[in-house]
Amino acid sequence: AQRVTQPEKLLSVFKGAPVELKCNYSYSGSPELFWYVQYSRQRLQLLLRHISRESIKGFTADLNKGETSFHLKKPFAQEEDSAMYYCALSGFGGNKLVFGAGTILRVKS
């Protein structure tokens, strides 16, 4: 069964502190992993995808197949990073997304 687990509902950090949003998945095959972000009163938008291997807004995420994880990291949090973050997966080459429950990131000044 396809499943995405985000164990933390809320993560609160101070500005400048490192951030790690956890995501674990279960999928029989080769999935594509994504992080989506939803800022206050805005629609869901793609932050990054594992196949791109790029850093967006200072965030990176590495797919660890051994640990079936795709944690989102940023070395120095900024207040504007405060948002809801969703980890999602799809079958490789597919587009049906399975979402985790989401983690609220709150960056305090």
Partner 1 sequence: GAVVSQHPSWVICKSGTSVKIECRSLDFQATTMFWYRQFPKQSLMLMATSNEGSKATYEQGVEKDKFLINHASLTLSTLTVTSAHPEDSSFYICSALRQHSVFFGSGTQLSVL
Q: Which residues bind partner 1 (CB under 8 A)?
A: 4, 9, 42-46, 86, 95-102
Of 11 and 15, CB closest to partner 1: 11
Of 13 and 98, CB closest to partner 1: 98
Q: Report how far Cα 84 is from the mean position of its chain's Cα atoms.
A: 9
Of 71 and 102, CB closest to partner 1: 102
Contact between 82 and 105 (Cβ < 8 Å): yes
CB of 43 to partner 1, least distance (A): 4
Tracing tokens 């029989």 back to the chain, one arrives at: 28
Beta bridge partners of 73: 20, 60
